[in-house]
Amino acid sequence: MNNLRENLIELLEAEASRKQIDYVLKLVGKDDKSISLLVDLALFGEYPHSNRAGWTLDILDRKHPELINPYLEKVLKNLKNVQSDSVKRPVLSILSKRKLPKKYQGFVIDYSFDILQNNKEKIASKVLAMEILANIAEDEPDLLGELFSVIDLQYKDASAGFQSRARNLRKRLM
């Protein structure tokens, strides 16, 4: 496993490009040990490994979401530890595409509202947090009032991307 870790880190360090990420994914394939290591590097690694591992997982999730599912609980359990915006965005992206287990929904709701209400958060993270909350609200309609209130407070001064997602979510949920 140590040799695998060193090889994966070396590949992630080689170049910060989509071409390199695709190359890493080609080598990783569907190997559980390699995917588990990518998850660990994203959640617990240091820059730049964590960022590039997060990016790699996001691309893997777009191509083969079923390969990320076994690691969802680990991601959810360690979500609060993710500080880097470059890791937070791909992790939120992965979570925004799934129905989350009920036992984590309360925590994820609080976490997502914290992001959504924090003026220091990047727009991409805020928009993904909004999407996660909207997904949960589809099954928990009591959440809609609070979600729309938080969105409305920011809407006027928000970026075009934030406003667009807010409009689309409102249409979807109403």
DSSP of 91-138, one letter per residue? HHHHHHTSPPPHHHHHHHHHHHHHHHH-TTS-HHHHHHHHHHHHHHHH
Contact between residue 91 and residue 75 where contact means Cβ atoms under 8 Å apart: yes
pLDDT of residue 2: 73
pLDDT digits (tens, 9 = 90+) for 93-107: 999 999 999 999 999
pLDDT band at 1 (very low <50, low <70, confident <90, very high): low
- State the average pLDDT for the chain: 94
CA dist., res. 135 & res. 59, Å (int): 21
Over 70: is that where the pLDDT of 67 sits? yes
Interval 152-162: pLDDT, tens: 999 999 999 99
Hey, is 31 helix, strand or coil? coil
**How high is the pLDDT of residue 114?**
96
